[in-house]
Structure 1
Amino acid sequence: MDNARRTAVKVLNEILQKGAFSNIVLGKELNRSNLNDKDRALATEIVYGTLKYKYTIDTMLNYFIKSDLEKMDIDILNILRISFYQMVYLDKIPEFAIVNEAVELAKRNSIKGSRLVNGVLRNYLRNKDVDYAKNIKSNMEVLSFKYSFPKWMVKLFINQYGSECSERILGGLNMVPGITVRVNNLKIDYEEAWKQLEQNGYDIEEGKICPEAIVITKGRNIEDNPLFVDGLITVQDESAMMVAPSMDLQEEITVLDLCSAPGGKTCHIAEIMNNTGEVFAFDIHASKLPLIKENAKRLGINNVNYDVLDATRYEMKYKEKADRVLIDVPCSGLGIIRKKPEIKWNKNTNDTKELVEIQRKIMVNASKYVKPGGKLIYSTCTLNKDENEENIKWFIKNHSEFDMESLYFGEAENIIYHKEGCMTILPDKYMDGFFIAKMVKRR
């Protein structure tokens, strides 16, 4: 018989030991389980909550366990982690039930392990008032403990944004993301989509910035929504929704999207172009192209060509072919931690340095595909300035045929408009952290 906590431990083992993606491995485990809806929701809550607060939980565990946590049996360690998450951050589960469930789960591993779990959890319950942060001195360590982020990441944000803005970023990245959908104007207008969503029992509100955005605050699974099934709406974060409108798209032009999968921005581009002209959707992985095609088919899009392309390698046949080239480059993903909290634990500073080299190769190649008078749009879902502003400064310095063009979507408290013309979107309840820059090629 499956159990929500057993499932959560199994999923966490895959993520933290093998680098699996939370959404993929959790989805697989839930689909093969016999959990009811309530237990599926609990397993999901425990997995994402434990990942979100792992640094703080481990700091607390270190108070009660003097040995190196990383040398512990991974099952026992993750049983303790999920138990601490439930006791510290959830108030809907009785503490005695959390302890009993944890001990029973640990018994499947070993009697010795179950005794350790029982001892640690009961010790915690007797010592709830411990000040775990009393020996923390620096502001960086205070923020690491408070928001549960690795020290290197907090240090990066403080160095790049300052302490006050960094705390806002950390808080935003810990917020629980809602579901935002984009109305497909090829099939339905905004008012009609709004009306039908309400008729289908969804609680909704307008998006913050984009005129096509609707935020779903309550309602059944979006994939069961008839508007989604019929391609009248599609799920897309509002930050990502800002990319296509920033491209100054027109009908009958040619657009290359070099890093297209899963195709949200590709489809938005095609919608704005009213199914005219040509959109080329590329990805380095052939296995991802069917997902882009599936999305486009559902949305009624038929002006997209699909092909495999390594964006880091120049393809002569696309030289000066496009009026617009979009490069939504591979990045560290530091802006989407609210959706993928494992990014906190599976990235490091070396990863970001390697990514900068890849991003610059893609920029150089992409620039050659832009027609004179055409535009190159660069976007990431990270907040690391080395991958964002610094890359743009480097590119403009070394490619004098390009000029920056300013972006503006109106005033919003979470948008930073840089003097160079690019923009950073800070994460909050509604939007992921994001970066967009637009450059025009001289005629």
Structure 2
Amino acid sequence: MNTEVRFHRNLVFATLDSLKLIFNEQKQADKVLKQTLKRDKRWGSRDRGFIAETTYDIVRWQRLYAKAADVKAPYSREDLFRLFAVWAVHKGHSLPNWPQLEGTPVRRIRGKFDELKNERVYRESIPDWLDAMGLDQLGGQWEEEIKALNQQADVVLRTNTLKTNKNKLKDALEDAEIRTQSKKIAADALVLEERTNVFSLPIFKDGWFEVQDISSQQVAPLLDVKPGMRVVDACAGAGGKTLHLAALMENKGQIIATDIYDFKLAELKRRARRAGAHNIETRLIDSPKVIKKLYGKADRVLIDAPCSGLGVLKRNPDSKWKLSPEFMEEVQELQADILSRYSRIVKPGGKLVYATCSILPAENQLQIEKFLASEAGADFKKVEDKTLWPSKTGFDGFYMCLLTKSN
């Protein structure tokens, strides 16, 4: 079916420029798009939406489209036009009458798609090694999960209960003509019915909400924090879960947010100011002493460990082209090391949550089993763990495990 979409050259060219940086120079898709979308002040939300969605779509399906277009990375300008043509044909759009797209073999491309959908590595557009690893660790379930991870992610908000409540936030969004739905699985979550840029809203600037997936919103509550506690968020990053912890603690007590990257902690401070979260102190891990000083001092510890990010491919589709088997091995060693060292921060009688945004047992259950069998894990007991499967929830893939330390 042909749908009449009018393609504007400047938008298509901006898309191809973005793809060149992502594919040929291995730049991060979200950062590239942030820059691209600033290029022309006259672009409206529909124009920007076209660039972002088309770019992400071609990134997500790169392997399938490149095979159908018969091109290989690094891509020339001509190759990028061919990728765009293949994308348009796949979407059922009529190609514009431009010299760069002349002679596109539309029927042959359609035939190629029919042929390629019989092989999962093309159908789901993934590297061979990743497909083999997923199949090895998840068996028949891998098929469902990788399919779910190729869907576009929903935009989910977490109500900042330090400033407002979910009903007030829902009403304020409704006033801005943004419709949302609640979900039982996360108390403060609102899911947008349609994608829209929420960052320009005055209520965002006033700290009423954060953008945070429903799966990610289930990590902080598992830690069972109470106002007045001392809590360490050991791999805090830019602080999505730190801010959630601050809200759950009603700004009372102390949260020490540590990370090895200064720029992430700077972003966390900025977000904390906007959210009105006053009980957060950031500490840069610039030597092993920073962690050692905290040994035995915290009621609660969150280890949101570095991981493959396989569970969040919906929102970071470019990462499947950047991952490698070597990285997977390195990150698993790092996870084991962090779990072994940072678990010592927990006081006797305290609690620890280990979490990743991955769905692979090697990064999750197997790490916990190894930890509990080690000397470092001797005082810990597993209370509960859960894997949130994208195929079942429709949201990001996550793993979380709650451990308690004996008195």
TM-score scaled to structure 1, two decimals?
0.84
Secondary structure in 1 aligned to 2:361?
coil
Q: 1:356 to 1:265 in 2, by over 3 A?
A: same
Alpha carbons of structure 1 residues 296 and 155: separation in structure 2 relative to 1, 3 Å: same
**Structure 2 CA distance for partners of 1:372 and 1:47, relative to 1, 3 Å:** same
Question: What runs of 5+ residues in structure 1 fail to find an aligned partner?
Answer: 105-116, 407-421
For the aligned residue pairs, the C-alpha RMSD in angstroms reads 2.2
Please name the residue that 2:94 is paired with: 94
Q: Which of 42, 52, 58 is 1:44 aligned to?
A: 52
| Identity percentage of aligned residues | 28
Q: 1:197 to 1:430 in 2, by over 3 A?
A: farther
Structure-1 residue corresponding to 2:32: 25
Identify the match of residue 380 of structure 2 among 402, 408, 425: 402
Matched, 1:145 2:122: yes
Q: Report the Cα distance in structure 1 between the residues aligned to 2:202 and 2:210, rounded to whole angstroms.
A: 11
Of 149, 152, 169, 1:193 maps to 169
1:224 aligns with 2:205: no
Report the Cα distance in structure 2 between the residues aligned to 1:44 and 1:219, rounded to whole angstroms. 12
Whether the aligned pair in 2 keeps the contact of 1:46 and 1:86 (CA below 8 Å) is no
Extract unaligned runs of 5+ from structure 2.
1-7
Q: Is 2:246–2:277's contact at 8 Å kept on the other side of the alignment?
A: yes
1:360 to 332, 336, 340: 336
Do the aligned residues in 2 keep the contact of 1:247 with 1:324 (CA within 8 Å)? Answer: yes
Structure 1 CA distance for aligned equivalents of residues 257 and 64 of structure 2: 42
Query: Cα gap change, 1:387/1:219 in structure 2, threshold over 3 Å: closer, same or farther?
Result: closer
Does 1:267 find its partner at 2:243?
yes
Aligned to 1:411: none
Alignment of 1:43-122 (within 5 A): 43-62=51-70, 69-70=72-73, 73-88=75-90, 90-91=91-92, 93-95=93-95, 97=96, 100-101=97-98, 103-104=99-100, 118-119=102-103, 121=104
Amino acid at match of 1:440: T
CA contact (8 A) 1:3 1:35 kept: no
Residues 1:127 and 2:108 aligned together? yes
Q: Per-residue deviation at 1:170?
A: 1.4
Give secondary structure in 2 for the equivalent of 1:234.
strand
Q: Which stretch shows the higher mean deviation, 223-232 or 310-319?
A: 310-319
User: What SS does the corresponding residue of 1:404 show, helix, strand or coil?
Assistant: strand
Tell me if 1:438 matches 2:402.
yes
Structure 2 partner of 1:157: 134
**Which deviates more from structure 2 when the two are superposed, residues 5-14 or residues 348-357?**
5-14
Q: Residues of 2 paired with 1:430 and 1:34: CA distance? A: 35
Query: Cα distance 1:236–1:356, how it changes in 2: closer, same or farther (>3 A)?
Result: same
Q: Which residue number in structure 1 is paired with residue 3 of structure 2?
A: none
Residues 268-289 of structure 1: CA deviation (Å, up to 9, x unaligned): 0011011111001111111222
Instruction: Spell out, residue by residue over 1:313-358, the C-alpha distance to the aligned partner (whole angstroms, 9 max, x if none).
Output: 7732111111111111111111111101101211111111010111
Within a 5 Å distance, the mapping from 1:282-297 to structure 2 comes to 282-297=258-273
Between 37-46 and 374-383, the greater mean CA deviation after superposition: 37-46
1:206-240 deviation digits (Å, cap 9, x = unpaired):
12510111111137520122322211211111111
| 1:255-313 C-alpha deviation (Å, 9 max, x unpaired) | 11111121110010011011111001111111222210111111111001012115977
CA distance in 1, matches of 2:162, 2:147: 37
Whole-angstrom distance in 2 between the partners of 1:154 and 1:223: 36
Are 1:244 and 2:223 matched, yes or no? Answer: no
Give the aligned partner of residue 425 of structure 1.
388
| Equivalent residue number for residue 308 of structure 1 | 284
Q: Secondary structure at the match of 2:51?
A: helix
CA contact (8 A) 2:230 2:298 kept: yes
CA–CA distance in 2 between the matches of 1:313 and 1:155? 40
Moved over 6 A (4+): 311-314
Cα deviation for residue 249 of structure 1 reads 0.7
For 1:369 and 1:425, how far apart are their aligned partners in 2? 27
